[in-house]
Structure 1
Amino acid sequence: MVTSRHFLIPSPLASYSCHASTLVQLPSGDILVAWFAGSEEGAADTAIWGARCVSGHWHDPVLLADSSNLPHWNPVLFRSRSGTLFLFYKVGFDTRSWKTMVRVSNDDGVNWSIPKELVAGNIGGRGPSKNKPLELPDGTILAPGSSEQFLSPQSRVQRWEAFVDRSQDAGATWSLVSIPMNYDVLSGAEQFGAEGIIQPSLIYDSGEVIAFLRSTEGFVYRSRSIDAGRQWSLAKPLCVPHNNSGIDAALIGRTIYLVLNPVSDTSGSPSRTPLCVMSSRDRGDTWQLVRTLENTPGEYSYPAVIAVGSSLLLTYTWQRLNIVYCRLQIEDDEVDVF
């Protein structure tokens, strides 16, 4: 059941647009959420904003990052086991010119370092593209990323490619590993002017890393790694319908939870409702509906989810006017505990 639900922006304006939230729970129990907002997506006045929940009370949003006259996109929060809190985000006028910036905090977001490029000189965006990194038992950090580029100056179709950036030195340096994809069988270019997979969401289960991916093909895709993200299997579609919008996944016990718009619509402007939570007990082979979070007309999109005990903590875009936070308590019969 949904045990709490909260709008994070107290007084949204009609001229205000917000999107692409991310969240992390801190050791104190505080919850920190970030998103981008401005007059519209891609406008030069967009910036990264955040809000903190302390002892059940949400504080008003505060500015977390703002580079003058540059659009800001897709913040990602991540706290390593060593205690470093990362804020990754993109800057640039479109995905082709993105640079990934990073700020770090050693006091759980009270103070932040000066922003710097995650990979100096990179254009197109390294590191996480939307979803949270994953820290493996050996301390390796996997950042799920993707790029959206035209294959040539004459091309009208973008190639969407997914990858994982690996760091074995606590985020100081990164090594890119591509997630392979068979582009010869795709049809998304006709609807979206793009083809491929982006924005992986990673889970770790019994020595295997599984990536669930947004696609242009009407279904969620999956790729797997059994060597800590050094190599990945060919990404293939699952039975889960998908509208080419953001997804995210989390693990409780041995059950995977996926939050998405399960609408297999490749019309070019697919619906971003309903927003649902689905679950799988067989690593993504089969799925069942757990909860419908939103089902009225409008946009409810780009979810972020983390697992805390037997609860899922989620945020998502609400009509581009607000960010919703909710806590979903998973019932005992919905959790695989073996």
Structure 2
Amino acid sequence: AFDRNRIISTWKNDGVIFPCYNTSTNSGYSFILRSNFINSTWTRTDIPMTTNLVQPSIVRLNNSSQLRVFFRDRNAISIYYADSYDDGLTWTMVKPMSLPNNNAGIEAYRLKTGALIIAFNNHNGTHQPRSPLTIALSYDNGITWPYKRDIQIHDDDNDTLIGEYSYPSLLQSFWSGSDDNDIHLVYTYDRKTIKYVRFNEKWIKSIIS
């Protein structure tokens, strides 16, 4: 089993929810490990029908026990998601999203405003470069994503670059008293180094896709 994205606290702050995936088969599948600090136990919860859906990225919705998890698609068609209404104990069937996926890693994150942000490569197909690296914003818990902006676009005229901008990780300062509302993004830059970018919601929304 592997972990690609961040863990989150349980709703009652008595444990953590650990999104995992298994690649013992060629296709892979995802599941959740849920801890309980009180009795030091771990419980595994399977997410239905996640064959070929891996590297889950989990967010909490509406300051409640509702969770949404997003998946990388090994079939390179679209990002998929599933919901939990009981803090990860049970999960709905997975559904495809309108956002594409090219069998590359993604990450979703819930901002201080309640908006969801997701970083992904904005096209599908397995034999395409992992470019552009794009961010998208949703204000309805991931139903629609009206704001998108490219962070990194491959320069076709530069033969020294292969167009590999992948495995994004997002973060916003989580301290309640912090006035830092910037969003921080790091990602693999052309399989040579790690690149860091900082921006805010207003900048993303300055271009309507």
Judge conservation of contact 2:27–2:74 (CA < 8 Å) in 1.
no
SS of residue matched to 1:331: helix
Structure 1 unaligned blocks of 5 or more:
1-124, 151-157, 183-194
Matched, 1:293 2:151: yes
- State the structure with more CA Rg: 1
Which residue in the other structure is 1:144 paired with?
Answer: 19
User: For the residues of structure 1 that align with 2:130 and 2:60, how far apart are their CA atoms?
Assistant: 28
> Which residue of structure 2 lines up, in the alignment, with residue 302 of structure 1?
167
Does the alignment pair 1:130 with 2:1? no
Alignment partner for residue 233 of structure 1, among 92, 115, 125?
A: 92
C-alpha displacement of 1:302: 0.4
- In 1: Cα distance, 2:18 partner to 2:142 partner: 20
Q: Structure 1 residues 173-182 or 224-233, which shifts more?
A: 173-182
> CA deviation digits over 1:55-88, x for unaligned, max 9?
xxxxxxxxxxxxxxxxxxxxxxxxxxxxxxxxxx
Q: Which has the higher contact order (CA 8 A, sep 6+)?
A: 1
* Aligned positions of 1:18-37 closer than 5 A: none
Q: Distance in 1 between matches of 2:80 and 2:86?
A: 20
CA contact (8 A) 1:305 1:312 kept: yes
Return the TM-score normalized by structure 2.
Answer: 0.82
Q: 8 Å contact 2:184–2:197 — kept in the other structure?
A: yes
TM-aligned CA deviation for residue 238 of structure 1: 0.6
Is 2:189 the partner of 1:318? yes
Name the residue aligned to 1:81: none
1:160, 1:328 → 2: CA distance?
34
Is 2:155 the partner of 1:273? no
> Could you list the per-position Cα deviations for residues 80-121 of structure 1 after superposition, in whole angstroms to 9, with x for gaps in the alignment?
xxxxxxxxxxxxxxxxxxxxxxxxxxxxxxxxxxxxxxxxxx
Q: Indicate the residue corresponding to 1:209 in structure 2.
A: 67
Q: Give the counterpart letter for 2:6 in structure 1.
A: K
Closer/same/farther in 2, CA of residues 159 and 211 from structure 1, 3 Å limit: same
Unaligned runs of at least 5 residues, structure 2: 156-162, 174-179
Asked if structure 1 preserves the Cα contact closer than 8 Å seen for 2:45 and 2:90, the reply is yes
Are residues 1:245 and 2:104 paired? yes
- Pair 289,264 (structure 1): closer, same or farther in 2 beyond 3 Å: farther
Instruction: Give TM-score, length-normalised by structure 1.
Output: 0.52
Alignment of 1:88-237 (within 5 A): 125=1, 129-139=3-13, 140-150=15-25, 158-169=26-37, 172-181=40-49, 196-206=52-62, 207=64, 208-217=66-75, 218-237=77-96
User: d(CA) in 1 for partners of 2:191 and 2:40?
Assistant: 34
Cα distance, 1:313–1:171 mapped onto 2, change above 3 Å: farther
- Structure 1 stretches of at least 4 aligned residues deviating more than 6 Å after TM superposition: none
Question: Which amino acid in 1 is paired with 2:167?
Answer: Y
Amino acid at match of 2:169: A
Question: Counterpart in 2 of 1:24?
Answer: none
Change (3 A) 1:136 1:270: same
- Give the equivalent residue in structure 1 for 2:176: none
Separation in structure 2 between the aligned mates of residue 322 and residue 166 of structure 1, nearest angstrom: 33
How many residues get paired?
187
